[in-house]
């Protein structure tokens, strides 16, 4: 399994995230968001680091506002961690890779 970042959408969110066998990290972002672009390489690195243990994907909030609305997303970037179909952690804004890894490890434990 490669550490590829998956594109989540309104149509595949249920299947890809809520019904996933493994925990899922969802990056909610938009093309015009500077901090989102700063966080993108970190998310891609984590996707490789946790390949096989964690599914990593992105939701463009401009293309899929229903997903953002469903989870009450007010600011981007927002990272949501799901386990067993439930949101178990929410990280708003740009945080260091080490902090993200620590919170992912907690969900995977």
Between the two ends of the chain, the Cα-to-Cα distance in Å is 20
* 36 a catalytic residue: yes
Q: Which one of 36, 39, 73, 104 is the catalytic residue? A: 36
- CATH number at 6-108: 3.40.30.10
What pLDDT, on a 0 to 100 scale, did the predictor assign at position 3?
64
The active-site residue out of 5, 17, 24, 33 is 33
pLDDT tens string, the chain, 109 residues long: the values are 356 899 999 999 999 999 999 999 999 999 999 999 999 999 999 999 999 999 999 999 999 999 999 999 999 999 999 999 999 999 999 999 999 999 999 999 9
pLDDT of residue 16: 96
d(CA 70, CA 13) in angstroms, rounded, equals 11
pLDDT score at 4: 86
Full-model pTM = 0.95
Q: Provide the residue ranges of all domains of the chain, joining segments of one domain with +.
A: 6-108
Is there a catalytic annotation at residue 33? yes
């Amino acid at each position: 399994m490669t550490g590829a970042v998956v594109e989540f959408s309104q149509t595949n969110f249920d299947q890809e995230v809520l019904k996933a066998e493994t925990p899922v990290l969802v990056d909610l972002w938009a093309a015009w968001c500077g901090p989102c672009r700063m966080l993108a390489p970190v998310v891609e690195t984590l996707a490789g680091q946790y390949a096989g243990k964690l599914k990593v994907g992105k939701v463009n909030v401009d293309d899929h506002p229903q997903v953002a609305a469903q989870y009450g997303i007010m600011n981007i970037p927002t990272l949501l961690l799901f386990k067993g179909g439930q949101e178990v952690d929410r990280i708003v804004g740009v945080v260091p890779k080490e902090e993200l890894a620590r919170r992912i490890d907690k969900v995977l434990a």
